[in-house]
Structure 1
């Protein structure tokens, strides 16, 4: 499994504020800032799902497990999936999943791409990150 987190920094944005939003979402500060052709991009990659612990915890606490699970399943292409979060919400310490088919925030989004070696690895991840729920409660199966 490999996790890649990518967030563009628009010319009108303060890179420190975008970095702070990512830190709020991920609880990490070991981000890489790259410059290319007048565009900055902040990224982080890992082969460990623990990099997503804070995002997972927040998704569970805010009770948006079903929305996150649906988005990850809809974006599954057989080898990877992705989910988008609102940059401005992350800066304000809020977690807002973006429906990538329906909306695009003016300043863009935080994209989390997760690649897997097998479908069973994806299923294990989904069940850890966004377990099944019933009436708002996690189903222990």
Structure 2
């Protein structure tokens, strides 16, 4: 079973609803709760997978997911400012205002990565 956990800081200078809206633009099924200055919740990767295909960033996404994988878990940090317009952009490890931290766990992580962000040849998905 796949588990997708979202966590994002809400800084004093930020509007909680705008941060919530940014997360929901990528993960619309998130059940977000404010806890100690962070929006946290669980989601699915359905919309995320559609966005990365539309943006044609499958290879970059795949590289990030594989590079950050440990056992059955992988992590990525998304730029929350870019997410406000419904786009995916991977953030540095420690963005100034924090990013949307996504932790993914799956018993067969590589199969999940293959499904979400498949191998491409000349920009086209390779169906295996």
The normalised TM-score by structure 1 is 0.83
In structure 2, the partner of 1:55 is 48
Q: Which has the higher strand share?
A: 1
Distance 1:93 1:59 in 2: 11
Q: Note the C-alpha offset of 1:79.
A: 2.7
Query: What is the RMSD of the two structures over their aligned residues, measured on CA atoms?
Result: 1.4
Summarize the alignment of residues 12-31 of structure 1 with structure 2, pairs less than 5 Å apart. 12-28=13-29, 30-31=31-32
Distance 1:2 1:54 in 2: 15
> Is 1:76 paired with 2:95?
no
> Is 1:66 paired with 2:66?
no
Summarize the alignment of residues 101-112 of structure 1 with structure 2, pairs less than 5 Å apart. 104-112=94-102
Distance 1:79 1:128 in 2: 15
In structure 1, the partner of 2:116 is 129
Summarize deviations over 1:64-100 as a string: whole Å, max 9, x none: 0000100000001113101111000111222212243
Q: 4+ residue runs of structure 1 moved beyond 4 angstroms?
A: none
Summarize deviations over 1:108-131 as a string: whole Å, max 9, x none: 1001101233xxx11110111000
Contact 1:2 1:116 in 2 (8 A): yes
Q: Note the C-alpha offset of 1:4.
A: 0.7
In structure 2, the partner of 1:43 is 40
The normalised TM-score by structure 2 is 0.91
69 and 113 in structure 1: CA distance in 2 versus 1, 3 angstrom threshold? same
